[in-house]
Structure 1
Amino acid sequence: MTTTSTFPIEIWYKILNIQYEELMSNDQPPSPEKFDSNLEIFLKSNLLVNKYFYQACLRLSSRYCNFATAKRFNNFLQKIIKLKSEDSLANSGNITKIMYSDMIEIVDFSELTSIGLGRSQYMNKEIKNLTSKTLWKFLENCPNIKGFLANEHIQMDLDHKIISYLLNKMEALDFCGCTGDTFSDNFVKSVQHSGIDGNYSKLTKLGLNNCTDLPKKDIYQVLLKSMKGLRKLDLSRTCIDDRILKIFPIMHNLTHFSIGMCSNLTPYGILDFITYHPTMTASKFGNNIDNKLQWLNLQVGNQYSTWTSIHVTILLKKLIINGHNKTLKYLNLNGLPVTEKHLNILSENFPNLVSLHISDCEAPTSLLREFISKMKYLKFINLNNSKFIKEWYFFTNAKYELLNCSESLVSIELSFKTWSKLQSFSDNHSIMVPHTNGDTSNMIQWICYLDSSFGRRFWIYRVDDFFNRNDLDTAGRFDTYDLHGNKNIEITRQPDFLKFAQYKVVIGTSIIKHPTSSSSIDDYGMYDENYVFDWVERGMYRYYSLRL
Structure 2
Amino acid sequence: MPTPVTDDSTPRVIPPEIAYQILTFQFRDLMSNDHPGNAEKFTENFRTFVRSNLSVNKTFYHVCRVLIYRYCKLTTAKRFHSLLETLRNNEKVCNIVQVADFQELTSIGLGRTGEMNKRIKNLTNETLSEFLELTQSNLREFLACEHIQDDLDENIVYNLLRPGTVLSVLDFCGCSGDKFTESCIKALDRLYRFDEEKQQYITKEENYQITCLGLNDCTDLPSPVLGRILLMLPELQKLDLGHTSIDDHTLMNGLPHLKSLTHLSLSMCLRLSPRGVLEFFSHHPAVTDSNNSKTLEWLNLYSMPHSSSWTAVHAMFLLRKLCQFGHNKTLQYLNLGGMPFHESDDRSAVRSGPYYQCHDTLQFIKYNFPKLKSLSIRGSNFPITRICDFLTPVNEQNFEVKSGYELGKDELPEIQKLKFLNISNNFHVNKWTIQDPALFTCSPSLVALEVSFDSWQQIEKANEKHEINALRYKNPHVLIKDPNDAEIVKWKCYIDSSYGRRYWLHKVDKYLNRDDLETRGNISKYDCEGRKIIEITKQPDFLKFAQSKIMLGCGIVPLSGVRRKESYRDLKPPISQFFTRSGGTTLGHTATPIVTPRLPPGGWRLIHHDEEDSSLDNIIPEEDEEAGVMTDSFTSNVSANYSPAQFSNRMSRDGLYWDRSIPALNLRPAEEMTYIAPASRQSQQQIHQPPESIGEQVEENDDEYFNDVTLQRRRSQLSILGLSHPRNSVLPRQNSWNSSISLLFPFRKPKNYFMLNPKEFVFDVNSEETTERYRIHFELVNEYEVFGCIERGMYRYYSLKT
| TM-score, normalised via structure 2 length | 0.63
* Inter-CA distance 400–176: structure 2 relative to 1 (3 Å threshold): same
Q: Which segment is superposed worse, 27-36 or 490-499?
A: 27-36
Partner in structure 1 of residue 48 of structure 2: 41
* Inter-CA distance 38–460: structure 2 relative to 1 (3 Å threshold): same
**2:390 is the alignment partner of 1:136:** no
Distance 2:73 2:473 in 1: 43
Partner in structure 1 of residue 786 of structure 2: 532
Question: Structure 2 residue aligned with 1:227, among 233, 248, 253?
Answer: 233
Distance 1:436 1:363 in 2: 25
Question: Structure 1 residue aligned with 2:519, among 462, 471, 474?
Answer: 474
Partner in structure 1 of residue 176 of structure 2: 179
Name the SS for the 1:233 alignment partner.
Answer: strand
Distance 2:156 2:500 in 1: 35
Partner in structure 1 of residue 24 of structure 2: 17
* Inter-CA distance 243–518: structure 2 relative to 1 (3 Å threshold): farther
Letter in 2 for 1:389: V
Letter in 2 for 1:100: V
* Inter-CA distance 518–311: structure 2 relative to 1 (3 Å threshold): farther
Partner in structure 2 of residue 402 of structure 1: 439
Kept in 2: contact 1:31–1:539 (CA 8 A): no
* Inter-CA distance 194–104: structure 2 relative to 1 (3 Å threshold): same
CA distances 1:352-371 after superposition (whole Å, capped 9, x unpaired): 00000001223321121121
Percent identity between the two aligned chains:
44
**2:311 is the alignment partner of 1:308:** yes
Kept in 1: contact 2:261–2:295 (CA 8 A): yes
Letter in 2 for 1:309: A
Partner in structure 1 of residue 335 of structure 2: 332
Letter in 2 for 1:327: T
1:338 CA displacement: 2.4
1:79 CA displacement: 2.5
Kept in 1: contact 2:366–2:416 (CA 8 A): no
Name the SS for the 1:35 alignment partner.
Answer: helix
Letter in 2 for 1:546: L
Letter in 2 for 1:236: G
Partner in structure 2 of residue 111 of structure 1: 104
Name the SS for the 1:314 alignment partner.
Answer: helix
Partner in structure 2 of residue 345 of structure 1: 364
**2:457 is the alignment partner of 1:420:** yes
Partner in structure 2 of residue 88 of structure 1: none
Partner in structure 2 of residue 87 of structure 1: none
Distance 1:519 1:176 in 2: 35
Distance 1:435 1:28 in 2: 35
Distance 1:328 1:527 in 2: 13
**2:236 is the alignment partner of 1:199:** no
Where does structure 2 lack aligned partners over 5 or more consecutive residues? 5-10, 193-201, 344-359, 394-414, 477-482, 561-754, 756-772
Distance 1:42 1:382 in 2: 38
Question: Structure 2 residue aligned with 1:163, among 144, 157, 167?
Answer: 157
Distance 2:125 2:215 in 1: 20
| Residues 52-451 of structure 1 mapped to structure 2, 5 A cutoff | 52-81=59-88, 83-84=89-90, 98-143=91-136, 144-168=138-162, 169=165, 170-195=167-192, 196-197=202-203, 198-216=205-223, 218-247=224-253, 248-282=255-289, 285-286=290-291, 290-340=293-343, 341-374=360-393, 376-395=416-435, 399-435=436-472, 437=474, 442-451=487-496
Distance 2:456 2:380 in 1: 17
Where does structure 1 lack aligned partners over 5 or more consecutive residues? 85-97
CA distances 1:70-89 after superposition (whole Å, capped 9, x unpaired): 111112212222x23xxxxx
Partner in structure 1 of residue 498 of structure 2: 453
Kept in 1: contact 2:500–2:797 (CA 8 A): no
Kept in 2: contact 1:150–1:176 (CA 8 A): yes
1:508 CA displacement: 1.7
* Inter-CA distance 30–266: structure 2 relative to 1 (3 Å threshold): farther
1:512 CA displacement: 3.0
CA distances 1:258-315 after superposition (whole Å, capped 9, x unpaired): 0001011111100010011111111xx34x6x42000000000112011111111100
Kept in 2: contact 1:456–1:547 (CA 8 A): yes
Give runs of ≥4 in structure 1 deviating > 6 Å: none
Letter in 2 for 1:449: Y
Kept in 1: contact 2:174–2:218 (CA 8 A): yes
Kept in 2: contact 1:339–1:361 (CA 8 A): no
Distance 2:311 2:509 in 1: 39
Kept in 2: contact 1:514–1:527 (CA 8 A): no
| TM-score, normalised via structure 1 length | 0.91
Distance 1:337 1:326 in 2: 23
Kept in 2: contact 1:164–1:191 (CA 8 A): yes
* Inter-CA distance 415–29: structure 2 relative to 1 (3 Å threshold): farther
Distance 1:44 1:162 in 2: 35
* Inter-CA distance 254–30: structure 2 relative to 1 (3 Å threshold): farther
1:6 CA displacement: 3.5
1:29 CA displacement: 6.2
1:66 CA displacement: 0.4
Q: Which segment is superposed worse, 112-121 or 322-331?
A: 112-121
Distance 2:212 2:377 in 1: 26
**2:549 is the alignment partner of 1:512:** no
Kept in 1: contact 2:172–2:218 (CA 8 A): yes
Aligned residue pairs: how many?
524
1:442 CA displacement: 3.9
Letter in 1 for 2:28: E
* Inter-CA distance 354–519: structure 2 relative to 1 (3 Å threshold): farther
Distance 1:243 1:436 in 2: 54
**2:27 is the alignment partner of 1:8:** no
CA distances 1:196-249 after superposition (whole Å, capped 9, x unpaired): 324322110000000000011x21222111111001000000000111112121
Kept in 2: contact 1:206–1:234 (CA 8 A): yes
* Inter-CA distance 28–309: structure 2 relative to 1 (3 Å threshold): farther
1:69 CA displacement: 0.7
Kept in 1: contact 2:473–2:487 (CA 8 A): no
Q: Which is bigger in relative contact order (C-alpha 8 A, separation at least 6)?
A: 1
Kept in 2: contact 1:160–1:187 (CA 8 A): yes
Distance 1:29 1:356 in 2: 32
CA distances 1:480-536 after superposition (whole Å, capped 9, x unpaired): 222322111111111111110000001122113227996666558x559x7111111
CA distances 1:320-372 after superposition (whole Å, capped 9, x unpaired): 00100000000000000124411111111000000000012233211211211
Distance 1:186 1:314 in 2: 40
Distance 1:469 1:523 in 2: 18
RMSD: 2.0
Q: Which segment is superposed worse, 105-114 or 445-454?
A: 445-454
Q: Which segment is superposed worse, 345-354 or 467-476?
A: 467-476
Distance 2:37 2:102 in 1: 15
Query: Looking at CA atoms only, which structure, 1 or 2, has the larger radius of gyration?
Result: 2
Distance 2:500 2:221 in 1: 28
Name the SS for the 1:103 alignment partner.
Answer: coil
1:32 CA displacement: 4.5
Kept in 1: contact 2:106–2:147 (CA 8 A): yes
Q: Which segment is superposed worse, 151-160 or 38-47?
A: 38-47
